[in-house]
């Protein structure tokens, strides 16, 4: 697409009348649009500067032409430096064309006041921190300006603007319309499928809870100082699973699960279960393997031991179960 740039031309007006005519001509030859601050009119100075600033902030580049004058006749502040500051605040590239100090130049076009001359020199040094070139005459000015502009446009492309007719080709618009229709259809299908998925997930959860409620495991206990397994008891998988869910979040080894269940489920509180495997390790492994089969837990290795953790599905099932228990309160009669 043919992108055009707005290029704001910054100069002092009285000392560069002939040279500054070359810049808008060159900009148009490159296919872009020059913006000249003198077109802001001659009304109130504050209004004029505000209009100039607003116009500059909408441009893509600034092109500054500087010789040996800092202030135009009758001015107290430098418009060029003010425009430099505004451009810097808005991140607009500021390209400078500075008259070579060795170039011949009329004394009448130089700053006579020493203090103003020092300000000019300080401004010139600021400009040299960005893209700049020194010129000696009109022909050299055109060449340097063209090279700087093309280089900056390649290295630092800006938004610019394009003809509205170029922005969207009719075929592209048709394709966007087709894709939009497909997108709406996909959204509808996903909504229907998600509804079906949620229904299947709820059915799976109900089935898993039913399996946990119907199946039991027999645990025996080994006490401190004892020689054999004692007090075999049957416990529903649902009870064991409810006890283990909070414990499995950080992960526990088979030995740690055996110790936890041995202490919590010990039927004889007068006796203390032993520290190592108070419940049979083979029974614990069988229970955990069944939980893994139901996708409620998963196993990973840590050295020579298995580490069991609750799965995301296990957390969701536990949350659904807890919510079911909490909702019972609504059904109870006061």
pLDDT of the residue at 219: 94
CA–CA separation, 229 and 287 (whole Å) = 18
Overall residue count recorded for the chain in this entry: 334
Answer whether 12's CB lies under 8 Å from 72's CB: yes
CA–CA separation, 82 and 65 (whole Å) = 14
pLDDT of the residue at 256: 93
Same fold, 6-166 and 215-331: no
pLDDT of the residue at 331: 61
Long-range contacts of 209-216 (CB under 8 A, 24+ apart): 209/238, 209/317, 209/321, 211/237, 211/294, 212/236, 212/237, 212/238, 212/241, 212/294, 213/237, 213/238, 215/290
- Looking at CATH, the fold of the domain delimited by 215-331 is given as Arc Repressor Mutant, subunit A (1.10.10)
Answer whether 71's CB lies under 8 Å from 77's CB: yes
Q: Which residues of 246-277 are buried (b: 16+ CB within 10 A; e: fewer)?
A: ebbeebbbbebbbbbbbeebbeeeeeebeeeb
pLDDT of the residue at 161: 85
Nearest alpha carbon to residue 154 among 84, 22, 61: 61
Alpha-carbon distances, residue 157 vs 3, 5, 61, 219, 262 (angstroms): 10, 10, 10, 75, 72
Helix axes 237-248, 254-265, angle to 10 degrees: 120
pLDDT under 70 in the chain at which residues? 1, 39-44, 73-74, 163-174, 188-201, 302-303, 329-334
Residue with tokens 């509205």: 164
Answer whether 31's CB lies under 8 Å from 2's CB: yes
Query: According to DSSP H, which parts of the chain are helical?
Result: 17-20, 22-29, 45-57, 79-90, 114-127, 138-155, 164-167, 170-214, 237-248, 254-265, 281-293, 312-331
* CA-based R_g, the chain, Å: 41
pLDDT of the residue at 258: 94
DSSP letters along 99-150, please? E-TTS---GGGS--SHHHHHHHHHHHHHHTTSSEEEE-SHHHHHHHHHHHHH
pLDDT of the residue at 108: 86
CATH of domain 6-166: 3.40.50.450
pLDDT of the residue at 65: 93
Answer whether 71's CB lies under 8 Å from 36's CB: no
pLDDT of the residue at 257: 93
Domain residue extents for the chain: 6-166, 215-331
């Amino acid at each position: 697409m043919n992108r055009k740039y707005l290029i704001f031309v910054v100069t002092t007006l009285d000392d560069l009348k002939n040279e500054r005519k070359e810049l808008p001509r060159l900009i148009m030859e490159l296919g872009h649009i020059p913006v000249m601050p003198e077109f802001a009119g001659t009304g109130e100075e504050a209004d004029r500067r505000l209009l100039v600033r607003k116009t500059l902030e909408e441009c893509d580049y600034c092109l500054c032409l500087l010789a040996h004058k800092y202030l135009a006749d009758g001015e107290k502040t430098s418009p060029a430096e003010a425009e430099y500051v505004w451009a810097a605040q808005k991140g607009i590239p500021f390209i400078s064309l500075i008259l070579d100090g060795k170039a011949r130049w009329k004394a009448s076009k130089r700053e006579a006041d020493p203090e103003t001359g020092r300000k000019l020199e300080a401004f010139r040094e600021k400009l040299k921190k960005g893209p700049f070139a020194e010129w000696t005459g009109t022909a050299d000015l055109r060449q340097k300006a063209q090279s700087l502009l093309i280089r900056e446009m390649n290295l630092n492309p800006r938004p610019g603007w394009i003809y509205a007719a170029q922005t969207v080709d009719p075929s592209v618009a048709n394709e966007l319309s087709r894709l939009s229709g497909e997108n709406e259809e996909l959204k509808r299908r996903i909504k229907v499928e998600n509804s079906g998925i949620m229904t299947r997930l709820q059915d799976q959860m109900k089935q898993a809870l039913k399996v946990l409620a119907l199946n039991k495991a027999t645990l025996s206990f080994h006490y401190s100082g004892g020689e054999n397994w004692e007090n075999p008891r049957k416990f529903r998988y649902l009870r064991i699973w409810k006890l283990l869910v909070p414990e499995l979040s950080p992960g526990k080894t088979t030995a740690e699960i055996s110790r936890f269940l041995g202490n919590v489920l010990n039927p004889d509180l007068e006796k203390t279960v032993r520290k190592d495997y108070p419940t049979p390790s083979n029974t614990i492994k069988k229970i955990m393997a069944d939980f893994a089969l139901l996708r409620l837990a998963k196993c990973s290795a840590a050295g020579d031991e298995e580490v069991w953790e609750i799965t995301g599905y296990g957390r969701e099932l536990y949350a659904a179960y807890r919510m079911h228990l909490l909702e019972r309160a609504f059904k109870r009669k006061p």
